[in-house]
Amino acid sequence: MSPHLIECIHLSKQYIRNKQTVIGLEDINLQINQNELVLLKGRSGAGKSTLLNLMSGLIKPTQGRVMIGSQCISEMPDSELSHILATRIGIIFQSFNLLPTFTVYENIEVALVPVIKRNSEVKEKIMSLLEQFDLSDKALVLPSELSVGQQQKAAIIRTLIKEPTILFADEPTGSVDDETAREILEQLMNLKREKGVTLVVATHGNILEKSADKVFLIENGRLK
């Protein structure tokens, strides 16, 4: 069994566009240990989001494997993968993907549908996280009534409510102002320090670089 929490082994991803083969990633090999903060750096279009999506199981590789512990999630049946995504892996997307007709509270609550929780426990957890992110007064409003920064915070809370042990974040501060970015980064670092969460963050900037355990640079679908 690998000593690493996450391992990518000769990982490649190709797409067919206009009958042409486009290389998204080519022969990626990397290892991530438990409770590490890992940055995936590179320019827009370099392949960072593709690698995050492969490591989180959202897409399948053309070649190679993704291991989480002793499990190969890239070859796992959808039913098993869905359970891991619901209980162990959290994903913060570039787009917030908030349901427009659901309140902030309901958008967060829906993430717990696959997990059996008592209503009182759910409410306590949601309100606690809303307070941590300074959104306790926004629980009953719709996403359209929030600022961009507040929408990002709500999307992050929806991910954190599942208490993931691995968190993948795709440009988590790319759409927000500097103050909100600092708040978000502080909360992510608290997860690493206090709960032992493993963080994998894709970015084209220098956020968190001084605090990172590993930094991988991606150019044209390859690690440099």
Residue-wise DSSP of 100-163? TTS-HHHHHHGGGTTS---HHHHHHHHHHHHHHTT-GGGTTS-GGGS-HHHHHHHHHHHHHTT-
Q: Which residues pair with 76 in a beta bridge?
A: none
Residue 149 has pLDDT above 60, yes or no: yes
Report the greatest alpha carbon distance in the chain. 53
Provide, rounded to the nearest whole percent, the portion of the chain with pLDDT above 70. 97
What CATH superfamily is the domain 6-223?
A: P-loop containing nucleotide triphosphate hydrolases (3.40.50.300)
pLDDT band at 118 (very low <50, low <70, confident <90, very high): low
Residue 116 has pLDDT above 70, yes or no: no
Average pLDDT over residues 96-101: 93
Kindly list the distances between the CA atom of residue 45 and the CA atoms of 42, 51, 56, 82, 218, in Å, as whole numbers in the listed order.
8, 11, 18, 27, 10
Average pLDDT over residues 90-99: 90
pLDDT band at 98 (very low <50, low <70, confident <90, very high): very high
Starting at the edge strand found earlier in the chain, the sheet holding 6-17 runs 20-32, 6-17, 63-68, 71-72
| pLDDT, tens digit (0-9, with 9 covering 90-100), for 160-216 | 999 999 999 999 888 888 888 888 889 999 999 999 999 999 988 777 888 899 999
Residue-wise DSSP of 179-194? HHHHHHHHHHHHHHHH
| Every domain of the chain and the residues it spans | 6-223
| pLDDT, tens digit (0-9, with 9 covering 90-100), for 24-34 | 999 999 999 99
Does residue 202 contact residue 48 with C-beta atoms inside 8 Å? Answer: yes
pLDDT band at 107 (very low <50, low <70, confident <90, very high): very high
